[in-house]
Structure 1
Amino acid sequence: MTKPTSNLLEAVPATDADQRDRRWWLWLAAPVASGIGLGLAWWLLAPGGLNLISGNSALADPSAAAGRFPRDLVLAGLLLLAGCFTAVLLDSKVRRPGQGMRTFLAVLGGLAGALVAWQVGLLAAQWWGPASSAAASGNEGFTLRSMAALLPWPGATALVTFLLTLFGLMGKQPEASPDAR
């Protein structure tokens, strides 16, 4: 008449689609989390931060005008590498359902990750940077001068994903129809 309770408590095996539906948020969260490391790397490498790339003492002062453009380039370069890496990760999943949603979330995550990297770099400069007289002189010190430097991550993710998908489709042989024989 009724089913035994032991049958009701059995776990239903999770399908591949269920697993995919549970992990969609990783394409948004992973770039945001990696923005923390990129922000720290920006402060370590850029002029005005620890200046590990050039080591030029003239660029060590965060308020120096000569270090503004290289500082923006260091962040843009790091974000470009992150965007290309994200696109390569997306390419491995190109033939699975939900490619458009994964790409959209990865691009959105890249934009959020770039904002996080920028803010973490500024925070690192406040915590560990030298106390400068930049605030008294009206200069802002270690900061980003061009907001366009935040766009390489989402832009590279979208562009490289598009190109990899396009090249994958161009190299694919057309399937023969059963009526052609």
Structure 2
Amino acid sequence: MTEPTVHVPAVAEPAPAPRPRRFREARWLVLPAASGVLLGALWWLLAPGGLNLVSGNPELADAANPGSWLPRDLVLAALMLVAGCFTGVMLDGKLQGPSVGRRLAFALVGGAVGGVIAWLVGLLAAQLFGPAPDPALGPGFGFTLRSYAVLVLWPAATSFITFVLALFGVLSKKPVK
């Protein structure tokens, strides 16, 4: 004889609790700030006075050479612009809902903090891995940033891209008749 099979109803596991909304919004502050570490390392690797991977010009490899100051600042400026554009594009689909202002503010503050962190990480990398600066020249002739306005390019690019994408979104909607 065969034994009857007993069907035991499956016990439903409780659904995982949704993350608080503030945590989801705070990632717009944390992720850009944390990515500043990567940008700082890239700045030192690519810029003249660091490893100089962009130009490869041996004259620009010396951080004390005044001819390397502008290209060094421009490399960090380009990295900040790319990061700001990326942040703005990622933020584009998230600009609906009740907390849109907080999300945008977090992204802008995160970009500003990420820019400062990138600058400081680049300076730290130059101190750790670069040649020792010549003390006879003074403290301003090492791997430094000459134009501090570069630090606001990340949030500026984020706000510009966000504005342009929002404008295109509004203009592409068909009027309601």
Same fold (TM over 0.5): yes
Instruction: Name 2:88's counterpart in structure 1.
Output: 87
Instruction: Name 1:24's counterpart in structure 2.
Output: 25
The alpha-carbon deviation at position 132 of structure 1 amounts to 2.9
Measured in 1, the distance between the counterparts of 2:123 and 2:88 equals 27
Measured in 2, the distance between the counterparts of 1:68 and 1:158 equals 28
Moved more, 121-130 or 98-107: 98-107
- Counterpart amino acid of residue 172 in structure 2: G
174 and 21 in structure 1: CA distance in 2 versus 1, 3 angstrom threshold: farther
| 2:57 equivalent to 1:48 | no
The alpha-carbon deviation at position 148 of structure 1 amounts to 0.5
Measured in 2, the distance between the counterparts of 1:137 and 1:152 equals 30
| Runs of 4+ more than 4 Å apart | 10-15
Measured in 1, the distance between the counterparts of 2:76 and 2:157 equals 14
Measured in 1, the distance between the counterparts of 2:125 and 2:84 equals 23
Instruction: Tell me the C-alpha RMSD between the 2 structures.
Output: 1.8
The alpha-carbon deviation at position 98 of structure 1 amounts to 1.6
Measured in 2, the distance between the counterparts of 1:128 and 1:158 equals 35
Q: Is the 8 A contact 2:133 2:141 kept in 1?
A: no
TM-score by length of 1: 0.85
The alpha-carbon deviation at position 20 of structure 1 amounts to 3.0
- Counterpart amino acid of residue 52 in structure 2: N
The alpha-carbon deviation at position 140 of structure 1 amounts to 3.1
The alpha-carbon deviation at position 173 of structure 1 amounts to 1.8
Between structures 1 and 2, the one with greater helix share: 1
The alpha-carbon deviation at position 22 of structure 1 amounts to 2.5
Q: Is the 8 A contact 2:50 2:126 kept in 1?
A: yes
Measured in 2, the distance between the counterparts of 1:63 and 1:13 equals 57
- Counterpart amino acid of residue 74 in structure 1: V
Instruction: Name 2:6's counterpart in structure 1.
Output: none
Map 1:1-181 to 2 at 5 A. 14=17, 19-133=20-134, 135-138=135-138, 139-176=140-177
Measured in 2, the distance between the counterparts of 1:103 and 1:53 equals 33
